[in-house]
Amino acid sequence: MILRNLLLILIALLASCQTVKKTDEIKLKILIDTDANNELDDQHALAYAFLNPDVFEVVGVTVNNTQNGHGILGQYDEAERIIQLFNLENEVPLFLGADKSYEEIAPTIQQVNFDGQPAVDFIIQEAMKVADEKLILVPVGKLTNIALAFLKEPKIIDKVRVVWLGANYPASGEYNLVNDITSVNPVIESGVDFEIVTVRYGEPSGSAAVLVTRDEVKANMSGKGPVSKHTITGRHGGEFNSFGNYSANLFENSQMYGNPPSRPLFDMVVLAILKNEKWGEKKEIPAPKLVGNAWEEQPGNSNKIIYWENFKRDAIVNDLFELMENTTP
């Protein structure tokens, strides 16, 4: 009887160890590449990643510059604000990335210093560290930093998975895409594990449909979330020590669209479907080619990519609101 009880205890302990190991295995190692000062979705993508420490290990943040971000330093400063609001400045490193396009920077890639060099070198450094897993690169702006990293060190291509918020696939255009058209094909043609989280302005099937109203933000974000030991000055002025209040300020100072007036949380959708694949639908296809800003299908291409669509708006938005509520002191 004693021996039987000891065996039962041993089995329970082994099961407990396996449970812990499984939890560790599903924690995703990610690097976020962002044009943080462009709209208000990048900030929420960063915040969502930081609110999910049991799901994501954020190894760092890199920034790139797109046309609405007030320069590469504006992008950097906004990303830094969000990192500080979560007290992560000593844990999540932040690096300046590409200002210009892939086509403009590529000829200088072997120079000691080139446009985007700190971010590119950091991406390579973190990718080379992984062994039994893949580092997930999460570009939520243009693909320039990723394409440059592949060009400088092709060995990392097999060590990473790229999940990009960009493109209206299969339709043409989209902000992140057109901000550096020259960076798209080099990434796809590298053969890297590549996924597109579609945008599709005005359509219910893209991340543009993951909309939030100003009133929802005021009710569910204001006064919510962790309190920072810092007080940051927001990009629209004012002082803040919680992301919830800063989120409300971003919405208050941004133009709303539609009926009811709202804004999409485009970039946050990438982190949401990484957390829970059931919050979107994915399809694997032969990798297309970008010609101009339009997609040209390549039916016989053995290289495959994945694109995501039909996102569960309520599940994603409510998860953000619950995370903020649960981390409010």
Segment 136-190, tens digit of pLDDT: 999 999 999 999 999 999 999 999 999 999 999 999 999 999 999 999 999 999 9
**What is the secondary structure of 112-180 as a DSSP string?**
SS-TTHHHHHHHHHHHHH-SSS-EEEEE-S-SHHHHHHHHH-GGGGGGEEEEEE---TTSS--HHHHTT
Q: Give the tens place of pLDDT for each residue, 96-134.
A: 999 999 999 999 999 999 999 999 999 999 999 999 899
d(CA 170, CA 192): 20
Whole-prediction pTM: 0.92
- Residue 250 and residue 43 in contact, taking contact as beta carbons nearer than 8 Å: yes
**Domains located in the chain, CATH noted:** 29-326 (3.90.245.10)
